[in-house]
Amino acid sequence: MAKVAEVNLITAKIKDIEAKNGVLQSKRNAIQALQKSRPEIVHFIDAIARVTPDGVFLTKIKQNNWLYVNPSG
């Protein structure tokens, strides 16, 4: 009887570890996706800086969707 309880406890711990591992894997995937897209954002901001005339200051950049960006300032 004690062995069954011990096996049940170990099984519960394994399930808990697997659940935590799933959460960590999800976080890892999110971080990797953000790191992968980082150069795109840097290139975008660099392009805005190159095409914005001297003396013009943008105070806000709003992205409506993946295709349109509304600068203001």
**Of 30, 71, 73, 19, which Cα lies nearest the Cα of 47?**
71
Query: Quick one: residue 55, left, alpha or beta (phi over 0 = left, psi -120 to 50 = alpha)?
Result: left
pLDDT given at position 67: 64
Q: SS3 of 53, please?
A: coil
Q: SS3 of 69, please?
A: strand
pLDDT given at position 17: 97
Pairing mode, strands 69-72 and 60-63: antiparallel
Question: Which pLDDT tens digits describe the chain residue by residue (73 residues)?
Answer: 789 999 999 999 999 999 999 999 999 999 999 898 888 888 888 998 899 889 988 888 887 776 667 766 6
